[in-house]
Amino acid sequence: MAIKRALFLSTGDRYFALACNFATVAAMSRLLTPEEIGISVIGMAVVGIALAAREFVSTSFLIQRQHLSREDVRATFTAMLVVTAIIGSALAFAAPALAELYGEPNLTPYLHVTAACLFVDLAGIQIGALLRREMAFGKVAAVNASGVAVGAVATVWLAWAGFSYMSFAWGWLATSVVTAVVALWLQPHFWMFVPSFRHWRELAEFGGYNCAIGFLNKANEQLPFLLLGRFLSPQAAALFNRGMMVCQIPDKVVLGGAISVVLPAFAAQVRQGGDLKQPYLRSLEMITAFHWPALLVLAVLAYPLVDLLLGSQWDDAAPLVQIIALASLCAFSFELNYPVMVAVGSIRTMFVRTLIVVPVSAALMTVGVLTGGLHGAALSTLLIMPFKALVTMGFVRHRLGLTWLDLAAAVRKSAVLAGMAAAGPLAAVALAGFTFDLSLGQAVIAIVVAACGWIAGLLLVRHPLLGELAGISSAIRRRMGPRMGAAAALSKD
């Protein structure tokens, strides 16, 4: 019951953030040009790698630790502050050189402001980790929602006022300030600011592997934007960024707030001596029931959906979306693999996995960009995603005692759902003369038909998701029953 309540609260929190982010992306894509957004994309790629280096002091240490003391919390914050000071100073110092490398002097002020954001973020990050460990997701939602709402409004208003690419940096700063203030108001743990270096060995052991994993993965994730910005243009980096962003919509919608609950829930189950084999398979079963159909429909309807979400000036991103969406079918387990391996104490295994995956993925992406430009970068994901999935699932399978047949059995019904959901949009493309450039009206009809096909698939294969949906419906009726009865009594009076 506690996990379901946490999931409900976290899902609401994440969907609110998702709605704000969608609105911000849609507005900014119309207020700014691809060239302007490209500058922020390159800047955030650099900052993203810097943020990954800060994972040497990951807050996951606080969540997974069996017995947590005040000294642990103080030591974590002290280490985070020291590492952030090093990274922030290096980022600010290197900003002019990076701007010169990319031929974009505007990068310098952008990186200076974002370097300041790294310091302001610290209080909110630390308190957020403690709240998640305690499964206090109501407070987590309040903190996150406040920061996201203020940041979204500030970013859009600044862009409208003429701050161009800098509106992203100042918007982030506004988010950081509000998040820190609300977090300290709800959980005034000012004692955590007292410096401490106790238990630094355990923190360094966990953080060393975690930092290496995060840094390598983040560098690999940001590599396309850095390569495209360096060898093509900021506009190319922006187009690829927006293409990736649209393809991540199913991930964000499907997982919603679930992913922030996964690590605390898995860690709690391990602390209680539980087995994660069945929860992991069950999670894959539920995720793919939404994830795969959504990605296939997105691949078919990329042109009208990009035009609707981003505006006509981003139409060149549509073919990228089609390619990346198909590649992303292999990414259904990515968000679960890290939490489950950390929960069972296999952080070193994940480090080995990273050492295998990242160099190969980086090489494939580099070859794709240098030989095929923007479309080459997209096509490389058709090799990168399956490779990452096979290697990672191999490690997870071994650690949890799973077989390939177990994994296939968990997702086979979802594969049928995906095919039935995609049938309607594919028929719409055929009726339109085998063109993907459908009108908005045609796309709406195709989506309705896809939803009908998906529901028919649920019933046909008797997918376990039906039971979950029935349980949610019953819970809503139980909650609404007394209220509806009271309302009826009042109306009679």
DSSP string, 212-245: HHHHHHHHHHHHHHHHHHHHT-HHHHHHHHHHHH
Output the CA–CA distances (angstroms, integers) from residue 94 to 87, 120, 151, 279, in the order listed.
10, 20, 26, 45
Element (H, E) at 195: none
Beta strands in 255-342 (DSSP E): none
Residue 213: partners with Cβ closer than 8 Å, 6 or more residues away: 55, 338, 347, 350, 351, 354
Residue 359: partners with Cβ closer than 8 Å, 6 or more residues away: none
pLDDT digits (tens, 9 = 90+) for 442-471: 999 999 999 999 999 988 988 887 776 666
Structure token pair of residue 439: 């009108």
Domain ranges of the chain: 1-221
Phi, psi of 248 (to 5 degrees): -85, -5
**Residue 490, pLDDT score:** 47
Could you read off the pLDDT tens digit of each residue along the chain, which spans 493 residues? 444 555 555 566 677 777 888 889 889 988 998 888 999 999 988 888 887 776 655 555 555 555 666 776 777 777 788 888 888 899 999 999 999 998 888 899 999 999 988 888 887 877 777 777 666 667 777 888 888 899 999 999 999 998 998 999 999 999 999 988 888 888 777 777 777 666 656 655 555 666 677 778 888 888 999 999 999 989 999 999 999 999 988 877 766 544 544 545 555 555 555 667 777 888 888 888 888 999 999 999 999 999 988 888 899 999 999 999 999 999 888 877 777 776 666 677 777 888 899 999 999 999 999 999 999 999 999 999 999 999 988 888 888 888 889 888 888 999 999 999 999 999 999 998 888 988 888 999 999 999 999 999 988 988 887 776 666 566 556 665 555 555 445 455 5
Task: State the Cα–Cα distance between residues 450 and 420, nearest whole angstrom.
Answer: 7
Helix spans in 32-106 (H): 34-53, 60-64, 70-101
Q: 10 Å Cβ neighbour count for 486?
A: 10
**Residue 146, pLDDT score:** 86
pLDDT digits (tens, 9 = 90+) for 142-171: 888 888 899 999 999 999 998 998 999 999
Task: State the Cα–Cα distance between residues 315 and 29, nearest whole angstrom.
Answer: 12
Sign (positive or negative) of CA dihedral 33, 38, 41, 47: negative
Task: State the Cα–Cα distance between residues 353 and 191, nearest whole angstrom.
Answer: 38
Output the CA–CA distances (angstroms, integers) from residue 1 to 165, 280, 394, in the order listed.
45, 18, 32
Structure token pair of residue 459: 């019933």
Structure token pair of residue 457: 């698939």
